[in-house]
Chains A and B, each alone.
Chain A
Amino acid sequence: MTSENAMLEEFAQREYEHGFVTEIESDAIEPGLSEDVVRLISSKKNEPEWLLEWRLKAYRHWLTMEEPEWHNVKYPKIDHQASVYYSAPKKKPKLNSLDEVDPILLETYEKLGIPLHEQKVLANVAVDAVFDSVSIATTYRETLEKHGVIFLPFSEAVQEYPELVKKYLGSVIPTSDNYYAALNSAVFSDGSFCFIPKGVRCPMELSTYFRINAENTGQFERTLIVAEEGAYVSYLEGCTAPKRDEHQLHAAVVELVALDDAEIKYSTVQNWYPGDSEGKGGIYNFVTKRGACRGENSKISWTQVETGSAITWKYPSVILQGDNSVGEFYSVAVTANHQQADTGTKMIHIGKNTKSTIISKGISAGVGQNSYRGEVKMMKGATNGRNFSQCDSLLIGDRCGAHTFPYIEVRNTTAKVEHEASTSKVGEDQIYYLRQRGLSTEDAVNMIVNGFCKEVYDVLPMEFALEARKLLNVSLEGSVG
């Protein structure tokens, strides 16, 4: 029995395949954070006055805030003065043609398996790639323009569509929302902006890949997606980072706005560097993601597969404001080795007949600690509001942990909230059974874990589901012969 345990332990030792560093000249500013730095970032991006003011307001508010400590993760206090807040590849990429992008960068993306070359984009995915702080290339822009879809690096959207950006930026997550959102608002460097006009079904899946390359650099990108009346978009987000001994901070903000009858499907496969088996290095992923179902019959769906990061702290949420609106959250979170995750969602029901579904699958291996934290709120006006939550935890080995913190608040008597939770262990008897049918231990564990995640994979876009499955297998891969 102990040998089986030892095997599972080995299993939890993961190899990270995106850990390479790209040698590229970058234009970075000195470490440290001050009003001057905020101004510098804004001026480097040639931003309008209102945006600078917006940043400064956020920064000043941030100074009054304390780093949150209520979560179930442990890490030494972050020295925000030691971080670099702006780093961009020196050769300014031209966006009209991929040929003009620095070949070293393209090589990096190729290594990451990102289909930047248009001819390779058979998957019908439009890609925006954010390298350190700057958006490198947006493919498929022309096709999208024909449909009236705007899909641009954030900094360009600020230049080209300032009114749209101004209207929606911070409208879901105000600058004062929380410590990391405030920090992001002050120093965000780039990200993606996406606007689907009234009645348009976005003809392809949109996708952003984030990559942190430079040392001691924080990545603070900002994503804003707006779907007007009756519009639909499916958006994919992927992320990787090189192996480094130092922890790196990633504090992103993602805002979604869905108007009447609009639908936004947001899928993430998060594979930031998780740190080594001793817990050295890795990304601190402190992210604020929130969607507003502002219109009637609107729908926002978050799907996330979280395999990376040393620490994950994120709660993609939905504010169900419009009547009959629908919020969904599907999540797989893996913590192996020394990884910690405190993740979940918030569903705030405001409108009538609003519906939300939460399916959370936590997998812990090694000495990983996995917490689900979810809040379901039925406000006074949420007549006939419905929520169903299911939180399942799977333990691999006997040194890891799974925790569930559900918060439920109901202020309308016609609302209904259901919560189910379960914890199970990858059983030795399951592994034995599968091996008796010819599977290796590794294949057996993969089969059990993938089976556990099935409900979430089922709602991922096909391409992503395959990637997620592969990633999960890699995550739990060990030297089992």
Chain B
Amino acid sequence: MLEIKNLHARAEDNEILKGVNLQVRPGEIHAIMGPNGSGKSTLSHIIAGREDYEVTEGEILYNGKDLLDMDIEERAAEGVFLAFQYPVEIAGVSNKYFLRTAMNSVRKYHDEAPIKRKEFLALLKENLEKLGMDKVMMDRSVNEDFSGGEKKRNEILQMAMLQPTLAVLDETDSGLDIDALKIVADGVNALRSPERATIVVTHYQRLLDYIVPDHVHVLAGGKIVRSGDKSLAFELEEKGYGFLQEEAVAT
């Protein structure tokens, strides 16, 4: 589904990614871990299409198409979803309206009719219940005056409504207490299916207790320095990132 080949990228004069290779198949959950500043967030945003980064080398194929050649909204409509580490506030726009507009934008791209009001509300209700969210939040402005936990849950709600093919969760666990973490994990697990894939970007192992990954990768110094199964996450928890950074410097 997603194939990242020898990806080099920089922001201004800073080279951040120095040859990332990654392959994600449908049905899989991949965890990307790594110390601060290793390029985890950069990788997430390059997949989503943020224009602050320049890809200097390499390519990304998404379902066989050149992802880097697609606009941000085109990627979204093709099923790429990024759960933001810092969700953005939009004053005066209700969450409900925003969600419906987003869904209809994606539908329009696929030449589908807009979602019926009743259908939308039923779907919304179902997902709100799953995520333990109060429906009052739907009439509030997008992320405005939301707590950190509410914002993250709101990201997962959007994901649940948009049903992406490839979901990238950028440090979704940061700032969440354990109960919220479980709810968010449930939301991600509920979306798990043979057609979809998820990339979980995280600094800590604890999220992976609830979202069990098929593959774990360690990103350090702009490269994936180690890949393995979930046991790699435990090893990292135990030893820290230090030894891997040394490896990265050595290679």
**A and B together in one complex:** yes
A contact set with B: CB distance below 8 Å: 1, 3-4, 427, 429-430, 432-441, 443, 447-448, 450-455
* CB–CB B91/A438 < 8 A: no
* CB–CB A439/B91 < 8 A: no
* CB–CB A439/B92 < 8 A: no
A4-B51, A432-B50, A447-B98 as given contacts; A437 in contact with B90, CB under 8 Å: no
Within 111-148 of B, Cβ neighbours of A (below 8 Å) are at: 141
B81 closest partner in A (C-beta): A436
Distance in angstroms between the alpha carbons of A460 and B81 in the assembled complex: 37
Distance in angstroms between the alpha carbons of A207 and B65 in the assembled complex: 55
Set of chain B residues within 8 Å of A439, measured between Cβ atoms: 73, 101-102, 105
* CB–CB B92/A437 < 8 A: no
Does B77 touch A at the CB level, under 8 Å? yes
A1-B52, A443-B105, A447-B101 as given contacts; A435 in contact with B93, CB under 8 Å: no
Distance in angstroms between the alpha carbons of A437 and B155 in the assembled complex: 10
B78 closest partner in A (C-beta): A438
Give the Cβ gap from A49 to chain B, nearest Cβ, in Å: 54
Give the Cβ gap from A1 to chain B, nearest Cβ, in Å: 7
* CB–CB A438/B77 < 8 A: yes
Distance in angstroms between the alpha carbons of A455 and B87 in the assembled complex: 23
Give the Cβ gap from A446 to chain B, nearest Cβ, in Å: 10
- Could you tell me the dominant secondary structure of chain A's interface residues? helix
* CB–CB A436/B92 < 8 A: no
Within 39-96 of B, Cβ neighbours of A (below 8 Å) are at: 48-52, 71-73, 75-77, 81-82, 84, 87-93
Give the Cβ gap from B155 to chain A, nearest Cβ, in Å: 10
* CB–CB A453/B92 < 8 A: yes
Distance in angstroms between the alpha carbons of A451 and B82 in the assembled complex: 23
Q: A433, A448, A450 — which one has the most chain B CB atoms within 10 A of its CB?
A: A433
A3-B51, A440-B105, A443-B101 as given contacts; A435 in contact with B92, CB under 8 Å: no
Set of chain B residues within 8 Å of A453, measured between Cβ atoms: 92
Q: How many residue pairs, one in A and one in B, have C-beta atoms under 8 Å apart?
A: 78
Cβ-neighbour of B88 out of A4, A433, A441 (below 8 A): A433
How many of chain B's residues touch chain A, expressed as a range?
Answer: 20 to 34
Give the Cβ gap from B153 to chain A, nearest Cβ, in Å: 16
Q: Mark B141-165, 1 if CB is under 8 A from A, else 0.
A: 1000000000000000010001000
Set of chain B residues within 8 Å of A438, measured between Cβ atoms: 73, 76-77, 102-103, 105-106, 109, 162
Set of chain B residues within 8 Å of A1, measured between Cβ atoms: 51-52
Distance in angstroms between the alpha carbons of A435 and B158 in the assembled complex: 13
Give the Cβ gap from A470 to chain B, nearest Cβ, in Å: 16
Give the Cβ gap from B100 to chain A, nearest Cβ, in Å: 11
Q: A1, A430, A434, A455 — which one has the most chain B CB atoms within 10 A of its CB?
A: A434
Give the Cβ gap from B41 to chain A, nearest Cβ, in Å: 13
* CB–CB B102/A448 < 8 A: no
Give the Cβ gap from B169 to chain A, nearest Cβ, in Å: 13
B106 closest partner in A (C-beta): A438
Give the Cβ gap from A143 to chain B, nearest Cβ, in Å: 35
B104 closest partner in A (C-beta): A438
Give the Cβ gap from A454 to chain B, nearest Cβ, in Å: 4
* CB–CB B92/A450 < 8 A: yes
Set of chain A residues within 8 Å of B75, measured between Cβ atoms: 436
Distance in angstroms between the alpha carbons of A56 and B205 in the assembled complex: 85
A3-B51, A432-B72, A437-B158 as given contacts; A452 in contact with B105, CB under 8 Å: no
* CB–CB A440/B73 < 8 A: yes
Give the Cβ gap from A437 to chain B, nearest Cβ, in Å: 4
Set of chain A residues within 8 Å of B77, measured between Cβ atoms: 438
Set of chain A residues within 8 Å of B105, measured between Cβ atoms: 437-440, 443
* CB–CB B101/A451 < 8 A: no
A453 closest partner in B (C-beta): B92
* CB–CB B73/A435 < 8 A: yes
Distance in angstroms between the alpha carbons of A26 and B49 in the assembled complex: 58
* CB–CB B93/A433 < 8 A: no
Set of chain A residues within 8 Å of B90, measured between Cβ atoms: 430, 433-434, 447-448, 451
B99 closest partner in A (C-beta): A437
Set of chain B residues within 8 Å of A429, measured between Cβ atoms: 88
Set of chain A residues within 8 Å of B91, measured between Cβ atoms: 451-452, 454
Distance in angstroms between the alpha carbons of A133 and B51 in the assembled complex: 52
* CB–CB B93/A436 < 8 A: no
B144 closest partner in A (C-beta): A451
* CB–CB A436/B51 < 8 A: no
A452 closest partner in B (C-beta): B92
* CB–CB B92/A451 < 8 A: yes
* CB–CB A447/B93 < 8 A: yes
Set of chain B residues within 8 Å of A443, measured between Cβ atoms: 101, 105
